[in-house]
Structure 1
Amino acid sequence: MMLLYTIGVRLYFVAIYLASLFNQKAGQWINGRKQQKFIRIDSCIWFHFASLGEFEQGRPILEALRARHPGKKLVISFFSPSGYEVRKNTPLADFVYYLPLDTKKNATQFIEAIQPEMAVFTKYEYWYHFFNQLHKRQIPLYIVSGIFRPKQIFFKWYGGLHRKILSFVTYFFLQDEASKQLLQGIGVTNAVVSGDTRFDRVWANAQQPKEIPGIAEFKNGHKVFIAGSTWPPDEALLATLPALYPDWKFIFAPHEIGEEKINNLIGLLPAATTARYSELNTSENLKSQISNLKSIVIDNIGMLSSLYAYADIAYIGGGFGVGIHNTLEAAAFGLPVIFGPNYQKFNEAKQLIALRAGFSLSNANELKGIVETLIGDEAFYSVTSKKAAEFVKEHVGATEMILGQIDS
């Protein structure tokens, strides 16, 4: 099994390398790892995140440990460029790296360089050699906001190597009881249901949102529909809404902001009343006419979690692909959330639907029906908004529980 694992890791690298010849993100994945050099330090707390979403998920613990131990060095690693490129200069860490490819040599060199006294991985990413090296050195390894599903390889007859990876973990802090039961079924008992630290993060953000220049002027007393982390299939549906609801304003924050992606999205919207966000800062004419715009397309990363403060209804993208993005950021502001059909892997989405604070759709007619109900029935909207915010508030507290065990 180790041979197959090694071959799989190598084949993954080859696939990314070939993709890097024509894909910018793959190029960043390769070049970022090739160019980085690890600075040797005496001791640190090491946080690893797959991408930007996991960074935000683990951020409450990161911030708390930073505040409790101001003299301690913190190291962050990312697997994906979408996390590294956005947070490579974060003041929350002393060093930010791409996680090297999972080989014994890479894991040994990385861990010997940063000398972690503990390692915290958020939600998932289970790498044999990194976990094994931590285990051999008796360095505590914690999984926070962990979640497991029956179809994962850990629970298959052929998943012996991956079950061994789990054995290297000091403690699991899980999102739900179902995950705990799955682990117990394969003999893993060093786990507790602590909840999801994303609730702590998004609730704190909703209490003190950042002001986004120009957005209040754009809103100008109108209701705002925001579409966050969208992909082309989402945008093809949503582009019909501005014409149907002329009294509303629309903010589109696509998941990918490459020039072609932005231009394609803008091409779906009424040209005379649509602008890129970056243009608001460079065009004096647009600044003077901003209140007359109907749609803004956000062409940068990092603003979305604060943009929800200006909105009244949110659509969360990804549901026509592998799965929806973060619904909790919007729900924390009391926004009803709408998303596509692929949400089954996300407990919070299922819970929001059960509360009638979240709504799933499969086509344009369903989108129109949901929006008309939310816009046309003020009493229903009010109840839905309240339920969304209360759902988030009721689930805060995971961070304190985790800190009580790893930093006692």
Structure 2
Amino acid sequence: MRRSLYTALMYLLSPLFILRLLWRSRANSAYRQRIAERFGFGTVSGSCIWLHAVSVGETIAARPLVERLLKEFPQHTLLVTTTTPTGSDTVKRLFGERVKHCYLPYDLPGSLARLLGRVQPTLLVVMETEIWPNLYAACAQRNIPLLLANARLSERSVRGYARLGQLVRETLANVSLIAARGGQDAFHFLQLGAYSERVVVCGNIKFDLQVPAGLVEQGQQLRQQWGASRPVWVAASTHQGEDEMILRVFARLREVLPDLLLIVVPRHPERFDAVARLCADSHFPSVRRSTGSAFAADTAIIVGDSMGEMLLWYASATLAFIGGSLVAHGGHNPLEAAAFGLPVVSGVHVHNFADIFPPLCEAGGAKLVANETELYAQLLMWLQHNNRHQQAGVAAHTFFEKNQGALDCLMQSVRYLMKL
């Protein structure tokens, strides 16, 4: 009865889903393309292993798992679904023709039946936290094992899901195995009604990021072009309201360190133009990566408005700020920066990564700041005291390496479920 009411509501809201896509397409035209896929129509077909990753972050996190699945199950087609155009672009960029790709249909029985009827997966792997009652029920009805991988649940999410009560419990009952990132995440799933015998702790697969061969060298080559002795600050995954603060802090830092170079990388492509205008209005010489403009000796700011180069920016940087944190968004993943041995500074709004930032800060690899004044002070300290900067970078890299191993645990879960 509860799922029936949920389904009825989803069907009633489905016209709004289309309107939302059209609204978002004002900034990104890709949202009004391939709409049929969101209702289960499309050309993807054939038996497969199916992995779902919502957007860019989840897709990048899933990369080690995808590579292992391709290696260990070469006889199986791998389907990777996303819900956003940027996630779709990331799948194509990372995996090319080695995987099939389409959008995940809306959680409507008819839409799901159309896709499942064509692809007939032997296993569904859902990255992180995507609890869809009809999708999970459809898999259970078809005896498709379902693995919730790298599963995470914050206290805020638990409170939200708890309001749905029995519907969430019934949905989690259809999950074959929950591979939680940590003990707290596992406890939260148990609070919502997951079966204890179906919950394991595997760790966070984001620690199993493999730095592509040659990327460090590419970063060093960029440093040579920019000036080998110049300090480079990368402000990664910035959100609206943060870029202005970043530029004000940068202006203050340049008074002390006139050769400092800033790389600003907005989180969302639809903000590239706006951030580029902000940088141009700052009166510092700036270039946009996407234009291929020549880098000049007096260039002070690079706008990282190209997709898929975040690791390259980290490879070429001296230190990193991780955005979505000076505003109340919840923060972003600091581990990619830590993998390159960069000291990390972030705002205090990092609740989406509450399992990572506290131990990373305790290890000495990251600092949290409440405002732009504290951000300026922390960056200046690291930039002026090379020994403390190096200590923080080593601490970040050591923390990253010590927590690897989730991938092997996940693959054990995959092998177990593939035999069911």
Q: TM-score, normalised by structure 1?
A: 0.90
Q: Which residue of 2 aligns with 1:304?
A: 310
1:267 lines up with 2:280 in the alignment: yes
Cα contact 1:19–1:26 (8 A) shared by 2:
no
Task: Please say which of residues 155-164 and 119-128 is displaced more in the overlay.
Answer: 155-164
Q: Which residue of 2 aligns with 1:197?
A: 205
Structure 1 residue aligned with 2:78, among 70, 74, 80?
74
Q: Unaligned regions of 5+ residues in structure 1, if any?
A: none
Q: Which residue of 2 aligns with 1:96?
A: 101
RMSD: 2.4
Letter of the 2:80 partner, please give it: I
**Whole-Å separation in 1 of the counterparts to 2:145 and 2:269:** 38
Letter of the 1:48 partner, please give it: H
1:126 lines up with 2:134 in the alignment: no
Q: TM-score, normalised by structure 2?
A: 0.87
User: SS in structure 1 opposite 2:215?
Assistant: coil
What is the CA-CA distance between 1:63 and the residue it aligns to?
A: 0.5
Q: Which residue of 2 aligns with 1:57?
A: 61
User: SS in structure 2 opposite 1:173?
Assistant: strand
What is the CA-CA distance between 1:255 and the residue it aligns to?
A: 1.2
What is the CA-CA distance between 1:3 and the residue it aligns to?
A: 4.4
What is the CA-CA distance between 1:218 and the residue it aligns to?
A: 2.0
**Whole-Å separation in 1 of the counterparts to 2:413 and 2:133:** 24
1:317-336 C-alpha deviation (Å, 9 max, x unpaired): 11113211121110111111
- Identity rate of aligned residues, in percent? 23
User: SS in structure 1 opposite 2:350?
Assistant: coil
Cα contact 2:172–2:194 (8 A) shared by 1:
no
Q: 1:269 to 1:93 in 2, by over 3 A?
A: farther
Give the aligned length.
Answer: 399
Q: 1:79 to 1:270 in 2, by over 3 A?
A: same
What is the CA-CA distance between 1:112 and the residue it aligns to?
A: 1.1
**Whole-Å separation in 1 of the counterparts to 2:20 and 2:347:** 28
What is the CA-CA distance between 1:361 and the residue it aligns to?
A: 2.0
Q: 1:262 to 1:155 in 2, by over 3 A?
A: closer
1:276 lines up with 2:282 in the alignment: no
1:11-32 C-alpha deviation (Å, 9 max, x unpaired): 6544443344443267634532
- Map 1:215-230 → 2, pairs under 5 A: 216-230=224-238
Task: Please say which of residues 259-268 and 76-85 is displaced more in the overlay.
Answer: 259-268
**Whole-Å separation in 1 of the counterparts to 2:168 and 2:28:** 26
1:180 lines up with 2:186 in the alignment: yes
Structure 2 residue aligned with 1:247, among 231, 254, 259?
259
Q: Which residue of 2 aligns with 1:321?
A: 328
Q: Which residue of 1 aligns with 2:268?
A: 256
**Whole-Å separation in 1 of the counterparts to 2:407 and 2:163:** 34
Q: 1:345 to 1:170 in 2, by over 3 A?
A: same
Structure 1 residue aligned with 2:343, among 336, 347, 356?
336
Q: Which residue of 2 aligns with 1:404?
A: 412
User: SS in structure 1 opposite 2:149?
Assistant: strand
What is the CA-CA distance between 1:9 and the residue it aligns to?
A: 3.0
Q: 1:91 to 1:187 in 2, by over 3 A?
A: closer
What is the CA-CA distance between 1:93 and the residue it aligns to?
A: 4.1
What is the CA-CA distance between 1:267 and the residue it aligns to?
A: 3.1
Q: Unaligned regions of 5+ residues in structure 2, if any?
A: none
Q: Which residue of 2 aligns with 1:170?
A: 176
Q: 1:292 to 1:361 in 2, by over 3 A?
A: same
